[in-house]
Amino acid sequence: MTAPNPDVAALPVDNRLLLTVAVMLGNIMQILDSTIANVALPHMQSGLGATLDTVTWVLTSYILASAVAIPITGWIADRIGSRNLFLLSIAGFTISSLLCATASNLEMLVFYRVMQGLSGAFVMPLSQTVMLDINPPKNHPRAMAIWGMGIMIAPIMGPIIGGYLTENFSWEWIFLINVPLGIITFIMLWTLLPSRPIARRKFDLIGFVLFAAFIASFQLMLDRGNSEDWFDSWEIIIEFGISASALWIFAVHMATAKNPFLSRDLFRNRNLITAMLLMIVAGVSMFSTMALLPPMLQNIYHYTPIDAGIILAPRGIGVFLGMAIGSRLATVVDARYVVATGMALASYSAWMMTGWSLEMDRWPVISSGLVQGLGMGALFVTMNILAFSTLSPALRTDGASLLNLARTIGASVGIAVFVGLLGRNWQTSHADLAGNVTEARLSPISPTSISRLGQFGEQAMMMIDGEVNRQALMIAYLGDFWLMAVVTALCVPLVFLMKKPQRMNVDSAEAASAAH
């Protein structure tokens, strides 16, 4: 196969800058919506008359719909055209966002969130494919850095924006904010976006159903596991059984089918498969941290939601710097070392968190967040460059779908595991600490003196129990950070399963061609 010209884009466009802005607007809008709703759940619960258990379906329905739809992006894009699918996705996402804001009960809101998840699922893989198609190969590192900034920054900004909108307006505004952005994005894409050639490949219904069953049951198991006490619940056992069986049958089907749902060439590509594994690890580390830190800052250190968001904002600055540095380094050194360094920095940032204390100020949070952002930024952008460097342009959309699915799975696994461990370790640490709260250690307070003090004695004991809870919760958080650091560090050697890339020097046409 003839190597592509490093100076010519696969889809040349008249105004690459404006099209990049439009693609990034759509991307950021969709990713924001996956995290912005978290902080508004209590407001939705009271406004819709829902219970604490049922209101979480606002999040679950979106995640499930998105995860099931992502893998089919490549087939639909080939069938109806990538331009048409992108426009339909933005239009569907905008309309469903408006409908979410008008929902009068929980059932309607969950239904509209499913629509939102189905339409928004295609935006990320399509936007990544567009960024690769409209830029010449020699500029792919820069294009992936720009695209990755939206992927990494939007989840960080989501809780801040969501907190501001719900505190100052109402929960409906977390959806209404998408409407003007969606309209602007649709108009810009309609005017500027070219389309890939249409290729009417056959649809493997059996393969899709098996893969969808695996993804849906696995995601549902992760989302419901903590509330249902994991494998003590028949619901979780059944969901695990369905996901494991569907995955096994799907693997057999992929190996034997004449026209499988996903091209077998994707699974023969060592760089793509390794990047998927690393993307899961990155999702675990990045998204579990973002799930743990806001409630920690609010419950233990008593910051307001807005202040907590501001303290976590330097993580985004680190991501910007990491992507800028990583994309540049990838053009002059072995990109695998850049990925390994990014993972090592992410592990070190979690190790920094294990040294936190109840008396510290905000600076340890800021410094560790900056280090993690640097690592994740360098890791994310360079890993995408490596994943697509050996992948045929015809497989880019499917490859982007799998990479984004891996990130989603990693985020779900990380949140489920670390939030679950946090609750269990909190209970264990509380029992251990409470066992040492004896009369001898609390000599000024004895059962006799407490009974004489009446309500003041009860308040004193409540204060003691509150402090034990705070100490136990802090120990549980430190345990999560320690495990996060170890797991990330152990995965660093996976980077070198990737093929050593040709040096991607932006001024070297021959090297850029060889990378493809």
Q: What is the pLDDT of residues 218-234, one digit of tens each?
A: 888 887 777 777 888 88
Contact 2, 512 (CB under 8 A): no
Contact 294, 161 (CB under 8 A): no
pLDDT at position 460 over 60: no
Share of the chain above pLDDT 70, in %: 84
Q: Spell out a b/e string for 144-182, using b for 16 or more CB atoms within 10 Å of the CB, else e.
A: bbbbbbbbbbbbbbbbbbbbbbbeeeebbbbbbbbeebb
Average pLDDT over residues 6-14: 69
Q: Helices in 360-442 by DSSP H: which ranges?
A: 363-389, 396-434
pLDDT at position 64 over 50: yes
Average pLDDT over residues 62-75: 83
The 3-class secondary structure across 259-293, one letter per residue, is CCCCCHHHHHCHHHHHHHHHHHHHHHHHHHHHHHH
C-alpha span between 27 and 38 (Å, rounded): 19
Q: What is the pLDDT of residues 495-506, one digit of tens each?
A: 888 887 665 444
Q: What is the mean pLDDT of the chain?
A: 79
Relative orientation angle of helices 314-329 and 305-312, to the nearest 10 degrees:
20
C-alpha span between 253 and 250 (Å, rounded): 5
C-alpha span between 328 and 505 (Å, rounded): 9
Query: What is the pLDDT at residue 295?
Result: 77
Helix (H, G, I), strand (E, B) or coil at 319: helix
Contact 32, 161 (CB under 8 A): yes
C-alpha span between 312 and 442 (Å, rounded): 38
Q: Is the whole-model pTM more than 0.85?
A: no
End-to-end CA distance of the chain: give it in Å, rounded. Answer: 10
Tracing tokens 């159903």 back to the chain, one arrives at 209
- CA 106 distance to own-chain centroid: 25
Can you say whether the dihedral through the CA atoms of 145, 151, 154, 156 is positive or negative? negative
Query: What is the pLDDT at residue 244?
Result: 93
Contact 181, 33 (CB under 8 A): no
Tracing tokens 């045929």 back to the chain, one arrives at 392
